[in-house]
Structure 1
């Protein structure tokens, strides 16, 4: 308990800080796990440096104790908006707001809108982030207040989900647009199956509720890879960008982790939304409504148009909605000479061209019924690319699913032999260097017999996962992972470090295979011929075929070479890889 003199001095410093507006904002990027782009920034308040209020925790706790939380938060919101570093109109600014402030008599709806207009932002740019740790005492009142903000165009996020039971209650009552997953659930999720299962449940729930998930506190690449695989939408943390006063630059290596996983998830059977985009009429945001009406009258087949600001899409104008707004007695005279941005849909569905079609479909069909058939706007590097209709999206998904069901492996969902052969033939015809890694589990039959087929299936799925994760870390965005069948897998890569890729596959396999043994011990296992072999358990044999492509090669050559290397690897105890170069004059063998 601080004495009266210290408290008096602290209070004097606090009021001086507020009066002189000494606080400032730093911004931490929130990254899309679909395309690696910056979706938005969370504004984080800092007090004066070298003062007891530099730490936001100390500053806000003191304000709450003194009953001045609203005054501090009002200034923090204004500073966050004033210093905003949003780079284009589709980025979002996340502003923290304590739930207690919602009930403060001084809380005046509309004040935030004034500040936004002052600095050239819209409510559609802002997400109010309510911390879960500050309990919501009157949920019905909070819902009314937040619904008022939603109608103005703001969005709502619940912070620290997963840190306590009350987060589930807040989610159920407030039905936010975003759920931020607490660091306690994210830390070492790649090593913790319980955390993984909990997050899988969050992902399923979020899809059903049309809520986007944001994973907080990511510090390791393995966490990022696991979250991407689980289908989490967005991420933030020191790995991706520290809080700063200037826009973030996401490192290429982290973008590649995201891109690579999206690529290998469905491999050649996954279409991106960019494959379906078609041209559409574009209007500048300051075009008169009368000009847009004239276009639709002359082009009866046009169902919508995109509104842009310097090539960046910011809105959508559907034909039917435009003419509905003009049907009133005075509508024409009221709207005719106004600009189109005054009546456009400010929150259309805008996606990057490389986003998988299935994910766009989930987002599109989760929209409100009156927007269900709106066009989906497709961007390329943040700029206008085209549009896709719901009909086209659903038809493409049907075709992909039919083809995938016919040729993909039913257990892992990875491409099967037909697609593997297509990919190999494609690489051979391109006549550029590439590498083929064949992976085969040793003593898998023994494991299956001892632990049961369900555990065996889990081990197969685990091997598929570590193949994909290793490609994500050591491969390139155009690499391929397939399931030959049973316990055999293949990776086709253009990495500059194929040996490092093999080492990574073995490292990850050895790191996690122990969890399948249920703490049992043994001295011997049995091979497929029934022979007793001294071994600690299942191991992994890799055949690395380096295709130099200086001279012609064939599928048969690759297959024969891999078979010879596999025989050598299986004769060796423990997980190992052997490699050979083909398509060149030299021959090189090596193992580790």
Structure 2
């Protein structure tokens, strides 16, 4: 990838005539680089760019190498030397011709992505028609060339670069921006330049299938690209899991070592391993967001209120409250440091008494302020804030708190906003992740079912539920009940294949596993076996000996309840039978009810609506584990 050269100045843009500036220092490295450029001892390599939708190669990125075995063979060394010796534009010019000529000679199909720094685009040798004439001699139309604008060099004059790119677009070139997400300025580049292609930095793609934060970043970029009709190219695809996640996100194109490495003469068609991933009917299990409350801080609740000096008189404070009707508190700050807080109702109540305003109106406001307000740092978490507020005096709930950064005033937060945020976060957490097991909750479960149906994937929806769990809770208490629920969640995660199977926690002792694994029945059988084994240490010796729990029924009579067991109702599903997660949920719950009719841990498979055979036959299981309808 061509590196930009931030040291280049407008004077160098105007440089014409001599191939090399007379000021280039004559060091050994400089002479070596000059010789490589003058003698065209550079070679091109090409990395295919995959069209994830058409399952074909849509183009190639042209990259450059120095001579094999030379100290300047690799791009980092080559362009590092050019930057040190002010030969950046000369090197880019040589690289451009080398890549274009090799692309034409190899007769590669599709588009050619060729790197260019902003300084290079403004170079007269790029704008004077020399490159266009070179393309004509090679028989390459500009419409097959995508100018890949590197982001590392900061653009300070957007109108100039916009005018330059408009010129290139008028000739037929298309524009791409590189390494989206690597720096802060490239989002502005996207907005200002409106490229046809946007490359997402490899940092956000490599390992995306296991990293929720990367996943959310890329999903946001994809949503933005759809809004402005740009094509996303995901760089850094290094595994089948990366490619599958990129494919299922709907990203148009991909590039990376898993697809193909840069070579002098690349293959023009994707290799079979890549096509297998693209053609797979399996749906990627997206990483799930955990509760975010731990990283939500006081800064989120901050509202800036212009503070008042402690030497200001009370009349001025009163006037502020009268003119700013939404103002409930007024922070008192001296030289940037908070020293107090004045409550609207407290001050007005004091002034409402006879002659109080006349007596105290001209006195400093510090006499009526709370000299010990609640002060928190901007990095205090919401949980910490809630705990502090719950332990503080009641008036702090109404007054709120002052937010500081390194002890200096930043703004004010209200107790009302804090309570609203905590409530909202608790509701959101319950919908997206069960707080007991941290497994995905109802919203992610429903979203994954709908994705499976939309993709036309055959899958098994298995509803897992505990039998006789209420009597166990009554006898052993809710804490041991939570232990059993967590145990079940761990077992289901253990038996599932995290790359293919989705484990969700509906609530209480109800779980749903969406299997894409071929051997899903064997995995269910293993879950039943593991539960029966691992739950035993939780029971007392007496309960194990008698084979049940002694409790009372509704009439107060002593009865013996069976020990808790695991029931799994399995539903074989595809989009030919079901249209939404609502139908899947209802049918899976019905299958679970049938499983619970059997004594002990059991698996019931609903086959009446199945139009396809299970991928692993029941002969692999004990007959007691399945009950065909």
Q: CA deviation at 1:534?
A: 9.3
Question: Is the CA contact (8 Å cut-off) linking 2:283 and 2:500 kept in structure 1?
Answer: no
- Alignment partner, residue 169 of structure 1: 188
- Alignment partner, residue 258 of structure 1: 278
Q: CA deviation at 1:106?
A: 3.9
Q: CA deviation at 1:67?
A: 2.4
Question: What is the SS of the residue equivalent to 2:97?
Answer: helix
Question: What is the SS of the residue equivalent to 2:446?
Answer: coil
Describe the shift of the 1:534–1:64 C-alpha distance in structure 2 as closer, same or farther (beyond 3 A).
farther
- Alignment partner, residue 136 of structure 2: 117
Question: Is the CA contact (8 Å cut-off) linking 1:183 and 1:217 kept in structure 2?
Answer: yes
Of 203, 206, 216, the match for 1:184: 203
Q: CA deviation at 1:255?
A: 1.9
Of 239, 253, 261, the match for 1:220: 239
Q: CA deviation at 1:46?
A: 0.5
Q: CA deviation at 1:159?
A: 0.5
Question: What is the SS of the residue equivalent to 1:238?
Answer: coil
RMSD: 5.3
- The number of equivalent residue pairs is 361
- Alignment partner, residue 268 of structure 1: none
- TM-score (norm. length: structure 2): 0.48
Query: 5+ residue gaps in structure 2?
Result: 1-24, 286-443, 471-477, 480-488, 503-509, 528-537, 540-552, 554-560, 573-586, 604-612
Alignment of 1:442-453 (within 5 A): 442=465
- Alignment partner, residue 440 of structure 1: 463
Describe the shift of the 1:32–1:15 C-alpha distance in structure 2 as closer, same or farther (beyond 3 A).
same
**Residues in 1 aligned to 2:452 and 2:103: alpha-carbon distance in whole angstroms:** 51
Alignment of 1:135-146 (within 5 A): 135-146=154-165
Question: Is the CA contact (8 Å cut-off) linking 1:40 and 1:92 kept in structure 2?
Answer: yes
Of 49, 52, 68, the match for 2:87: 68
**Residues in 2 aligned to 1:500 and 1:136: alpha-carbon distance in whole angstroms:** 58
Describe the shift of the 1:564–1:156 C-alpha distance in structure 2 as closer, same or farther (beyond 3 A).
same
- Alignment partner, residue 148 of structure 2: 129
- TM-score (norm. length: structure 1): 0.50
- Alignment partner, residue 500 of structure 2: 470
Q: CA deviation at 1:441?
A: 4.1
Alignment of 1:450-461 (within 5 A): none
**Residues in 2 aligned to 1:534 and 1:587: alpha-carbon distance in whole angstroms:** 25
Describe the shift of the 1:149–1:490 C-alpha distance in structure 2 as closer, same or farther (beyond 3 A).
same
Describe the shift of the 1:138–1:582 C-alpha distance in structure 2 as closer, same or farther (beyond 3 A).
closer
Describe the shift of the 1:240–1:500 C-alpha distance in structure 2 as closer, same or farther (beyond 3 A).
farther
Describe the shift of the 1:199–1:586 C-alpha distance in structure 2 as closer, same or farther (beyond 3 A).
closer
Question: Is the CA contact (8 Å cut-off) linking 1:86 and 1:93 kept in structure 2?
Answer: no
Question: What is the SS of the residue equivalent to 1:83?
Answer: helix
**Residues in 2 aligned to 1:154 and 1:247: alpha-carbon distance in whole angstroms:** 23
Alignment of 1:530-545 (within 5 A): none
**Residues in 2 aligned to 1:540 and 1:238: alpha-carbon distance in whole angstroms:** 45
Q: Deviations over 1:392-414 (max 9, x none)?
A: xxxxxxxxxxxxxxxxx993374
**Residues in 2 aligned to 1:224 and 1:127: alpha-carbon distance in whole angstroms:** 23
- Alignment partner, residue 251 of structure 2: 232
Question: What is the SS of the residue equivalent to 1:470?
Answer: coil
**1:199 aligns to 2:199 (yes or no):** no
Deviates more, 1:252-261 or 1:65-74: 252-261
**Residues in 2 aligned to 1:419 and 1:135: alpha-carbon distance in whole angstroms:** 43
Larger Rg: 2
**Residues in 1 aligned to 2:461 and 2:62: alpha-carbon distance in whole angstroms:** 47
Describe the shift of the 1:560–1:70 C-alpha distance in structure 2 as closer, same or farther (beyond 3 A).
closer
Q: CA deviation at 1:149?
A: 0.6
Describe the shift of the 1:471–1:104 C-alpha distance in structure 2 as closer, same or farther (beyond 3 A).
same
Deviates more, 1:32-41 or 1:108-117: 108-117
**Residues in 1 aligned to 2:255 and 2:614: alpha-carbon distance in whole angstroms:** 42
- Alignment partner, residue 477 of structure 1: none
Q: Deviations over 1:521-564 (max 9, x none)?
A: xx99xxxxx999999xxx9969699xxxxxxxxxx9xx999977
Alignment of 1:76-475 (within 5 A): 76-84=95-103, 91-248=110-267, 249-260=269-280, 411-412=446-447, 414=449, 437-442=460-465, 470=500
